[in-house]
Amino acid sequence: MYIGQAAARSGVPAKTIRYYESVGLLAEASRTPNGYRDYNEADVETLRFVSRARALGFSVSQVGELLGLYRDRQRASSDVRTIAQSRISDIDRKLAELQGMRATLEKLVHSCHGDERPECPILEDLFAPQQH
């Protein structure tokens, strides 16, 4: 099948498929005589794997690692588990950061009347912040 159909069936845009190939995440696709990329069922499944792993926030290079682990079935499950756990740690750090930001913003918003008057403590706070 051509790239358009592979895109439709995997949910990965054609542009993105070419990009993944260009950066080495996917092997170079075989070509039909006219030079169009040619895909099969297994390729579509690989694309779905990539798509789902990306949706879980794995970077493209991490997805490359996961694909490698999948292809080499001799590898221990602990390798996969380790990658997944470090991703969880990344997420936890990001969550804490966002929650801190949110708390500060919430405090600022509550201290601001939000009416037609120009005074708003948000800006003053940003200019003269307490340490945090």
Least separation in angstroms between residue 33's CB and its own copies is 31
Q: Is 9 in the site for DNA (CB under 7 A)?
A: no
Residues 125, 119 contacting (CB under 8 angstroms)? no
Q: Which residues pair with 38 in a beta bridge?
A: 30
Q: Is 36 in the site for DNA (CB under 7 A)?
A: yes
Q: Is 61 in the site for its own copies (CB under 8 A)?
A: no
Residues 21, 64 contacting (CB under 8 angstroms)? no
Alpha-carbon 110 to chain mean position: 33
Which of its own copies, DNA, none sits in contact with 115, Cβ below 5 to 8 A by type?
A: its own copies
Task: Give, as one character, the DSSP assignment of residue 34.
Answer: T
Distance in angstroms (rounded) separating the CA atoms of residues 75 and 89: 23
Q: Is 105 in the site for its own copies (CB under 8 A)?
A: yes
Distance in angstroms (rounded) separating the CA atoms of residues 102 and 82: 30
Interacting residues with its own copies (CB under 8 A): 45, 48-49, 52-53, 55-57, 66, 69-70, 73-78, 80-82, 84-85, 87-88, 91-92, 94-95, 98-99, 101-102, 104-106, 108-109, 112-120, 122-123, 126-127, 129
